[in-house]
A and B are shown apart, each in its own frame.
Chain A
């Protein structure tokens, strides 16, 4: 998951970047509103965290500009102002949730998770497809009730695919959203992850949860349990 973080406080930005990267996100950060808007329009993000008090372009104006540019990714507001008037203004401008400073890093992660999940159309933190269930808050996978160990990268790949069920996700898209820009984009690595995921999810090769669409990418094709 690639995130955009716009925060002008250097220390806080560094803390957040570190915490989010530790949590498995790819983070692009900028220290003012104008740079933030440039990044939001140039790159493809899964979510953004935006501080309201920003230099050059205020957080509210940045959110409005992002929404006017047709970007629909979820936006989480960071604000030191905890008055309802301010919260309502931010949410009306197009943000989806807010966190009041000071905050616990864990809270930001939880809110982000919820936003990403909701943006993909899931109402609950556990994504359930037939026997497969992925708990996005605990970051655990279970198949037929049995917990299965995943490495951080395997989890990221699977979560991204499961948040876009039935859609063909290109290797390029996966790489962009799951790895840092300077990461060596050797597609073999992805293939290795996919192969390992297939083995872990479906050792008997009865379910075949991940299709390879030749020349285009991968698709998670298990029908959702009940309704998503």
Chain B
């Protein structure tokens, strides 16, 4: 049972680590990108909303003169009044001429901003980015408005320096990736621990198998998780049946060797003690040879027969086996012209090896063909998970006194009376190995009735 030393591409653990790792990286980077984008968008939207609000505030207080100049009282927003505060406001006329600017924007060079000729439909706001040498990149909002009493159009422009929002975004990004990185490390660690915990039963299984291999243990333990329990139980059964088979081989070999010694001793006695061998001695030798033959057949039959009734037992339909044997036996007993009647009430199945069923029924049906006058009945049915096969003939039957003796279990071939044959002994052995029983009775046909009953486990 030593494990083959072939190198598999990846171990289970490697597979899981790799798959989970790739998934983790993909998931976290995507999450990061999405969050980053969403944050940027929300910040930009907030800037636009803020600028819009400032424009409305400006509109609310601005008063034009007849000559087109504007009077704007002190604005509530303090930053408009503080030079280079980062928040700036202008009012331009339809020709791009500046008509007013806030105190904060005294240092701004409007010519650099390309805002003078903005053609904005009244009532609409336009957003954009502009750059000035001194103040750097800025976001602006420009609103066009029609002054009916002057019959003129003015553009209200509010600008804000980008630097603070960009700093805000940068700060968000760095803390975002820091958290995601931390999460990746934590999840990786957790995954490693979970895998170790999840793989423990498999490691335990491998360890126990090694122990069984080296003889330190007899069986796998019982404490496996439900997913592995079927495996460990089947493994235990396999190990058990393998052990039983081994011990059966051993005992068969022992029985074989011992039981062959008696006839060998007889023959060796004849050869050694007699100077001249006569006809009677030859008959003795022939008898011993026949005995040895029976012993070998019986013990081989015992050793070869399977005991896998529960492990990997697959259903074998009984009918085809009976028919096959019937065809074969018709050929062998052609002279007798046996009338074979097969009666199957239900479709019956035998749970075990087909060769065992063939051997079992072969021996019993052979006896029926041999001892019948002209009729053999074979019937089979399944009831309460029990397979019942009845083989009857119209021969002289088995006398009641002999039935017990015939059925005696473990009757060894070398204790059989000559002429008894080993067929029944082999059949009994097979039935026994499946935990079944054989009943001998009188058949309504007049001869013997052999009933095989095997429960399905």
Contact, CB under 8 Å: B358 / A84: yes
Q: Considering the chains assembled together, what is the distance between the CA atoms of A97 and B329 in angstroms?
A: 9
Answer whether residue B236 sits at the interface, using C-beta atoms and an 8 A cutoff.
no
CB pair A83 B304 closer than 8 Å: yes
With an 8 A cutoff between CB atoms, is B131 at the interface? no
Is A124 part of the binding interface, using a Cβ–Cβ cutoff of 8 Å? yes
Contacts of B331 in A (CB 8 A): 91, 96-97
Please, how many angstroms separate the alpha-carbon atoms of A100 and B355 in the complex? 18
User: Does chain A have a CB within 8 A of B297?
Assistant: yes
Docked CA distance A102–B328 (Å): 21
Q: Is A118 a contact of B335 with CB atoms below 8 Å?
A: yes
Contact in complex: A98, B332 (CB < 8 Å): yes
| B337 adjacent to A87 (CB under 8 Å) | no
Shortest CB distance A123–B (Å): 6
List of A residues within 8 angstroms of B363 by Cβ: 84
Q: Is B229 an interface residue (CB 8 A)?
A: no
- Chain B residues positioned under 8 Å from A27 (CB to CB): none
A82 within 8 A of B: yes
B328 touches A87 (CB 8 A): yes
Instruction: Say if the beta carbon of A88 comes within 8 Å of chain B.
Output: yes
Kindly list chain A residues whose C-beta atoms are within 8 Å of the C-beta of B327: 91-92
Q: Give residues of chain A (112-162) contacting chain B, Cβ–Cβ below 8 Å.
A: 114, 118, 123-124
Given the known interface contacts A83-B355, A84-B363, A85-B355, the answer about A91 and B335 at a Cβ–Cβ threshold of 8 Å is no
Cβ-neighbour of B325 out of A88, A100, A114, A124 (below 8 A): A88
Is B362 on the interface with A (CB-CB < 8 A)? yes
Chain A min CB distance to B431 (Å): 15
Q: Which of B23-39 contact A (CB under 8 A)?
A: none
B324 touches A88 (CB 8 A): yes
Instruction: For B246, list chain A residues within 8 Å (CB).
Output: none
Is B328's CB under 8 angstroms from A88's CB? yes
Instruction: Report chain B residues within 8 Å CB of A85.
Output: 354-355, 358-359
| Interface membership of B167, Cβ < 8 A | no
- Chain A residue with the shortest CB-CB distance to B333: A97
Which of chain B's residues have a CB closer than 8 A to the CB of A87? 328, 362
Most B CB atoms within 10 A — which of A84, A92, A96, A97? A84
Nearest Cβ distance between residue B256 and chain A, in whole angstroms? 15
Residues of A close to B289: CB separation below 8 A: 102
Instruction: Give the A-B contact count at a CB cut-off of 8 A.
Output: 46
In the assembly, what is the distance between CA of A86 and CA of B327, in Å? 14
Q: Give the chain B neighbours of A92 by CB distance below 8 A.
A: 324, 327-328
A118 to B362, CA, bound (A): 23
User: Distance in Å from the Cβ of B215 to the closest Cβ of chain A?
Assistant: 34
Cβ contact of B328, chosen from A91, A100, A114, A123, cutoff 8 A:
A91
Given contacts A88-B358, A88-B362, is CB(A102)–CB(B325) below 8 Å?
no
Chain A interface residue count, CB cutoff 8 Å, equals 17
Contact A84 B325 (CB under 8 A): yes
Nearest B residue to A88 via CB reads B328
Q: Is B277 an interface residue (CB 8 A)?
A: no
Q: Please report the C-alpha to C-alpha distance between residue A87 and residue B325 in the assembled complex, in whole angstroms.
A: 9
Contact with A along B319-343 (1 / 0, CB 8 A): 0000011011001101101000000
For chain A residues 63-118, which have a beta carbon within 8 Å of chain B? 82-85, 87-88, 91-92, 96-98, 100, 102, 114, 118
CB of B363 to closest CB in A, whole Å: 7
Would you call A82 and B297 a contact (CB within 8 A)?
yes
Query: Out of B293, B301, B337, which one reaches A102, CB within 8 Å?
Result: B293
B111-127 CB mask vs A (1 if < 8 Å, else 0) is: 00000000000000000
Instruction: Give bound CA distance, A100 to B332, whole Å.
Output: 13
Least Cβ–Cβ distance between A127 and chain B, in angstroms = 14
Nearest to B356 among chain A residues (CB) is A85
In the bound complex, CA of A34 to CA of B324 (Å) = 28
A100 to B, closest residue via Cβ: B297
CA distance A88 to B334 in the complex (A): 15
Contact residues in B for A82 (Cβ distance below 8 Å): 297, 301
Minimum C-beta distance from A131 to chain B (A): 24
Q: Of B293, B304, B334, B362, which contacts A84 at CB under 8 A?
A: B362
CB distance from A136 to the nearest CB of B (A): 12
CA distance A111 to B409 in the complex (A): 33
Q: A84-B362, A88-B358 are in contact. Are A118 and B334 (CB under 8 A)?
A: yes
Q: A83-B355, A91-B332 are in contact. Are A123 and B324 (CB under 8 A)?
A: no
Name 9 interchain pairs, CB-CB below 8 A, sorted by A: A83-B304, A83-B358, A87-B362, A88-B324, A88-B328, A102-B289, A118-B334, A118-B335, A123-B337
Q: Which 7 A-B pairs have CB atoms at the shortest separation, nearest pair first? A: A84-B362, A91-B328, A88-B328, A84-B358, A85-B355, A85-B358, A84-B359
Q: Which residues of B contact A (CB under 8 A)?
A: 289, 293, 297, 301, 304, 324-325, 327-328, 331-332, 334-335, 337, 354-355, 358-359, 361-363, 366
Further contacts, 8 of them, CB under 8 A, given A83-B301, A87-B328, A123-B335: A82-B297, A83-B304, A83-B358, A84-B366, A88-B358, A91-B328, A97-B332, A102-B289
